[in-house]
Chains A and B, each alone.
Chain A
Amino acid sequence: MVINWFKYSAPTTFYGLAGRLIPYFAWPAAILFCIGLYIGFFVAPTDAVQSEAYRIMFIHVPASILSMFIYLIMAGYAALGLIFKTRLSAMMASALAPTGALFAFISLWTGALWGKPMWGAWWVWDARLTSELILLFLYLGYIALQASIDDPRRADRASALLALVGSVNVPIIYYSVQWWNTLHQGSTIKFSGTSMHIAMQQSMFTILVACWLYTIAVALARVRSIILEREANTQWVNDLPEVKGVRS
């Protein structure tokens, strides 16, 4: 079967598709989040070194991973929009930015609440923490830049450049624990395996998947509003039942 993928890269068709897809991501996200929390709090054993404080890991690690991945996906969409001038990719980039910023915030917040009891400090200017803070500022800069330019096309181009230049920060965050002598520990899960208890891995992985599904659902919902805002003057938007409804 041949699927015309380009059809779905047009806002006209993607609007409806996104709307139909949202529940398939939102509900599994909510269910997996509950399962992950259940395993994390009731199945995973107490840590020998960190006692119960280590349970912050189950949200801290997925939020940090998502904050970095979302940035790369956002920069990818921004680049596509810049090169091919596709309207939808630029809209997807701006739909992802707030969610990425929120995950960066959760990563920093849970990190501070974990750092205080373990390191004795809410914050240290170590390479991992500082580069993650820069990531949050890059997201905020992207959102502010886009909001400050009235013409959406120009706003897309300017913010796409910022997103692309800022993407060098992501490998810096990832490798910071190896390149510099940081207070932040290195990755416990490596390609060669891990020493972590199986229930701890299950909880962290389940919440990671839940966060991914959540991100997709929220980005799809947000891009639908962006499509409505930007295509407000087109006939197809004004023919939508949810727009027409009030008149008849």
Chain B
Amino acid sequence: MNWTEFFAMNGYGFYVWGSYGVALLVFAVEIAMVRHRRKLALRQLKWMNESGDAQ
């Protein structure tokens, strides 16, 4: 099988790769957002701890 043909998807390449590309991008962005949220939560807690706000 040749790769040019594979990526062309018989003329439907834009639709097929547009679907999978955006889906994978969405997953990647969500994983990054979840990681970022944890980092923010931990930073906030450490900051509270250092300034002696914790009970």
The answer to whether A binds B is yes
Residues of A within 8 A of B (CB): 37, 41, 46, 51-53, 55-56, 59-60, 63, 98-99, 102, 105-106, 109-110, 113-114, 116-117, 214, 218, 221-222, 224-225, 228-229, 232-233, 235, 237-238, 242-247
A106 CB contacts on chain B under 8 angstroms = 22-23, 26
> Which of A37, A46, A110, A243 contacts B46, CB < 8 Å?
A243
Name the prevailing secondary structure of the A interface residues: helix
> Which of B15, B31, B41 contacts A114, CB < 8 Å?
B15
CB atoms of A233 and B54 under 8 A apart: yes
> Which of A52, A110, A245 contacts B23, CB < 8 Å?
A110
> Which of A98, A110, A243, A245 contacts B30, CB < 8 Å?
A98
A237 CB contacts on chain B under 8 angstroms = 45
Q: State how many angstroms separate the Cβ of A26 from the closest Cβ of chain B.
A: 9
CB atoms of B10 and A114 under 8 A apart: no
Interface residue range, chain B: 20 to 34
Q: State how many angstroms separate the Cβ of B45 from the closest Cβ of chain A.
A: 5
A242 to B48, CA, bound (A): 14
CB atoms of B54 and A52 under 8 A apart: no
A-B contact count (CB 8 A): 95
CB atoms of A56 and B19 under 8 A apart: yes
A113 to B41, CA, bound (A): 38
> Which of A37, A98, A238 contacts B54, CB < 8 Å?
A238
Q: In the A-B complex, list the 8 residue pairs whose CB atoms are closest, starting with the nearest.
A: A53-B12, A52-B9, A110-B19, A228-B41, A225-B37, A113-B15, A52-B10, A238-B54
> Which of B16, B30, B37 contacts A102, CB < 8 Å?
B30
Chain B residue nearest to A245 in the complex (CB): B46
CB atoms of B42 and A243 under 8 A apart: yes
Chain A residue nearest to B45 in the complex (CB): A243
User: Given A224-B38, A235-B55, do A218 and B30 touch, yes or no (CB 8 Å)?
Assistant: yes
Q: State how many angstroms separate the Cβ of A232 from the closest Cβ of chain B.
A: 6
A228 CB contacts on chain B under 8 angstroms = 38, 41-42, 45
Q: State how many angstroms separate the Cβ of A96 from the closest Cβ of chain B.
A: 12
